Amino acid sequence: MLKRVTDLVVGKFDHFQQSLAHRFHLSASLQERQLLLSGQIAAQQVRRLERIDSLADVEFRVTSQWGEDGIIEWLCHKLPMIERSFVEFGVENYGEANTRFLLRHRGWRGLILDGNPDYMAQVRGETLHWMHDLVAHSAFVTAENIDGLIEQAGFAGELGILSVDIDGNDYWVLKAIRSVRPALIIAEFNGVLGDRHAITVPYDPTFERLKAHHSGQYFGASLPALTRLAEAKGYRFLGTNSNGVNAFFLRDDLAGPVLGAIARVVAWPPRHRDSRGPDGALTYVRGTAKAELIKALPVQEVTTGETMPLGELFPLYSDAWQREI
């Protein structure tokens, strides 16, 4: 008798848990639909802008971290002939990424990569994985393996967008890519490294941002370093988002009409305050003080190959950035 009662209670509890899980999933799905609808309304407004002052004019955020969704929408509207495909790596669980809204709103196909297999398993468990042509693959991206990963997934050749954000070897991985010919490159830069020098962290295939320095400010490359690399690959700089995180580069053969519709190509300095202490807690360090945290760490000048402590290159910021930062 006791066993029957226990089984009944357990059965009802399991049913209750399943019911809650279903309701939560339904609620999350409805919220994303509402968010997508709001984004589509914003997209319609952005597409009406034939000319803009800078990329900041068309920013809006649906599932991107900052305002990249709006910038991408405006550029895609200006470039209807490009391939409807993307590769983005460094996406974590893809809840916040440069291409998620693009996938849902425009129906592009894409490849996403992240070094955490749990994150990619989570993406493969979402409805968007079967509703769209999305390949979610787990891999720790390096300069040595990136082309192989892209080719094995079937994305080599012409590509609409390549989005690079791995908080580490971004410069070296982007430099190594030969397998795709994207129309647009979106690359995260490290604004803490300033806008006066073309510098990057030295290449280390095992680089991890918070292991390199607890503050999280030592990673990636400066905007001048990425701009020189992009130019060498045949791309023109269009500007950055207004929070000074991502830079946008358009292939030379496509850039003319788009640049003609942008009054000012603006590189914005970083305003975010994501520095951390040795205990991992946020410390909210502001402005040029962020560079002081990592001034003893080595950086490499990309044109000469020379390596030196970051502090030897002070001041890092132009007068324009110094006023803004």
pLDDT, tens digit only, all 325 positions of the chain: 555 545 544 455 455 455 545 454 556 678 888 989 999 999 999 999 999 999 999 999 999 999 999 999 999 999 999 999 999 999 999 999 999 999 999 999 999 999 999 999 999 999 999 999 999 999 999 999 999 999 999 999 999 999 999 999 999 999 999 999 999 999 999 999 999 999 999 999 999 999 999 999 999 999 999 999 999 999 999 999 999 999 999 999 999 999 999 999 999 999 899 999 999 999 999 999 999 999 999 999 999 999 999 999 999 999 999 999 8
d(CA 289, CA 215): 12
pTM for this predicted structure: 0.91
Residue 37: partners with Cβ closer than 8 Å, 6 or more residues away: none
Measured CA to CA in angstroms, residue 103 lies from 129, 163, 291 at distances of 10, 13, 36
CATH class of 49-324: alpha beta
Burial of 23 (0-12, 13-18, 19+ CB in 10 A): exposed
